[in-house]
Structure 1
Amino acid sequence: MAVDVSRAKRLVRELPGAFRLHTEADPRPANRRIAAVCAWAAALGLGGMAVALRAFVGLIAQYRAWYAPTVIAVGLLGLACTIAAFASLHHRRLPFALLGVASVSLTIGWIVTGL
């Protein structure tokens, strides 16, 4: 399988720009966009606290070797996507796509901790 070198070079060139913090030269995102990302992230944080409480009870109640690594991996995925949403706030759709992935991660965490 041949790798398209031009596509790989373009990805290497554009990826750092997708996740960078704002500078003074960047246009300021709209207040509505900032508020929407903050509200969604706050809801994810509250939901994450509920999942963390369920995970804590699940860790104490019964030993399952797969449980702790699975809960940690799902939680870190959601946390990383939420942080990346703030880092990519100057993009049009990327923050909301990342928060969508974080929401799916939260749902998976809720399901896993209910087992």
Structure 2
Amino acid sequence: MSVDVSRAKRLRQQLPDAFRLPTEADPRPDNRQIAAVCAWAAALGLGGMAVALRAFVGLISEYRAWYGPVVITIGLLGLACTIAAFASVHRRRLPYMLLATASVTLLIGWVVTGL
């Protein structure tokens, strides 16, 4: 039980540092990293538009009570991960992990909207 408590305490201390806007004291991220995060986010945005179009067609073509909430939840999760990637751009690997998670949600959205 004490291991879980110490892990939770450590996580509470680390999360505010990981997801914060950079200050003047933080080192400036590399231009390549900023460009890579922007390019990946742009690709996710274009893919998200395609999924949104498929979701719209799915919403108006046939009524399924589960469809709307599931598609909205998947989209919001992907959007939150993409926004968090920009907020953590001063970190080395965290933005890429978040963008990878957003990419997975985009693929899941593509599969769900194809049903």
TM > 0.5 fold call: yes
TM-score calculated relative to the size of structure 1: 0.96
Give structure 2 stretches of 5+ with no counterpart.
Answer: none
Task: Point out 4+ residue stretches in structure 1 off by more than 4 angstroms.
Answer: none
Aligned to 2:56: 56
How much is the aligned-residue C-alpha RMSD, in angstroms? 0.8
Question: For residue 40 of structure 2, what is the aligned residue in structure 1?
Answer: 40
- Give the Cα separation in 2 of the matches to 1:63 and 1:18: 41
1:48 maps to a residue whose letter is G
1:1-115 equivalent positions in 2, closer than 5 A: 2-4=1-3, 5-115=5-115
Alignment: residue pair count = 114
Identity %: 78
Following the alignment from structure 1 to structure 2, what is the Cα–Cα distance between the partners of residues 110 and 8? Answer: 35
| SS of alignment partner, residue 100 of structure 2 | helix
TM-score after normalising by structure 2: 0.96
Letter in 2 for 1:113: T
